[in-house]
Amino acid sequence: MSEQYERVRVLLAGICSLILAMGVARFAYTPLLPLMQHQAGLGVAAAGWLAAINYAGYLSGALIASLISDMVLKDRLYRMGMILAVASTVMMGLSSNLILWALSRFLAGMGSAAGLLLGSGLILNWLIRHNHRSELGIHFSGIGLGIACSAAAVFLMSGGLNWREQWLVLAMLGCLLLVPALAWFPAPDKTKVTRSGQLMEDAPPGDLFMRLFMFAYFCAGAGYVVSATFIVAIIDHMPGLAGTGTVVFFVIGVAAAPSCVVWDLIARRMGRLDALICASVLQVIGIMLPVLNSGLAAALAGAVLFGGTVMGVVSLVLTMAGQYYPTRPAKMMGKMTLSYGAAQIMLPAVTGWMAAGSGSYTVGLYLAGAAMVVSSLVLLLLRRVSQRAGKLKPD
């Protein structure tokens, strides 16, 4: 097997794992939410709690990822997570019991953490070990593709299938993705040298850098989660935009798919931290456009900016984490995601509670926009800390 063919196969395995774990198991809930509210009687507050429980499962998976270092165990947990992603999707279509839905969302969260953190960490380790660029942009395109695929699937099924049947069709799609996600994924390697014989050594950042980095990512999690969870419902309830929410969600996915590669290229020129600051500022605009202008054009422009930056932020942060810890990348990735995930638990529940009182999820976008402003300011402060430490461009 040629080296280039091997790299393509590994990256395709990673992309399929993210389409399954993030697009099907996790984010299909967003375009299906209005249909479940209409057909299955899912309440506004309950919808927020289900989203929060999903992120609680994700956070639990991140905690596990941050605690383990053994490569073989990570590989086993990754593969279990892929199976959980399919099983949790099946559960959503087999019952209308809120408790079972909550269990499904929790397991889906754990499966998505396995794909995003353990899978990404193992693939980054493989790339470094085989002397490829230590970038995850191509791999993370699977998140945007997953969002676009789930939105397109729901849109295409909306005319003839009910909410239950749509979940089961998505589960069948998940079964197809499961094959390459498992069969093509590289076997774990515990050695500490690259293929060319270079020693792989961890070079962790200082304590102040880590505290600021984690807080900025916490705020980014708050900024991201409201749009990612409720944007379809928000757009559908805007005057004159009923039925266009799924289209907006599809545009987010389409914009997200190539964005991680684009941000990798930007980071090569200006450094990952400066690229991260730019992405965060643009994300503020993307979040706020739908509430500052209620027209479809503004909603679509916001979707392009949001989709084009949100996965770029995740990719840049997790790549930086993996570069600081090349021998155990999922460890710092897990710690960063604990910060990101903590915000994702709180904001959907708060947004759902506020929406139950006001009748609209829109207020959540103001909270999300404010959180991203804070994240951008903290990243600017982090830039000064990095300059003083001489680590502005981690390699």
Cα separation, 15 vs 217, in Å, equals 23
pLDDT of residue 229: 73
Q: Is residue 294 within 8 Å of 239, Cβ to Cβ?
A: yes
Q: Is 199 helix (H, G, I), strand (E, B) or coil?
A: strand
Residues 6 or more apart in contact with residue 134 via CB below 8 angstroms: 124, 127, 128, 319, 322, 323, 326, 395
pLDDT of residue 394: 44
Full pLDDT tens readout for the chain, 395 residues: 577 888 899 999 999 999 999 999 988 998 898 889 989 988 888 888 898 898 889 889 888 888 887 889 999 999 999 999 999 999 999 988 999 999 999 999 999 999 988 998 899 888 888 888 877 888 888 988 888 888 889 889 987 899 999 999 999 999 999 999 999 999 887 666 666 667 667 777 778 888 999 999 999 998 888 777 777 778 887 777 787 888 888 888 888 888 889 999 999 899 989 999 999 999 999 999 888 887 889 889 999 999 999 989 988 998 888 878 777 777 788 888 888 877 777 777 777 777 777 766 777 788 888 899 999 999 999 988 877 766 544 44
Q: Is residue 26 within 8 Å of 109, Cβ to Cβ?
A: yes
pLDDT of residue 227: 77
pLDDT of residue 292: 83
Angle between helices 296-324 and 329-358 in degrees, nearest 10 = 150
The residue type found at 18 is L
Domain 3-184+200-389 in CATH 3.30.70.100: no
Cα separation, 110 vs 223, in Å, equals 21
Length of the chain: 395
pTM exceeds 0.75 for this model: yes
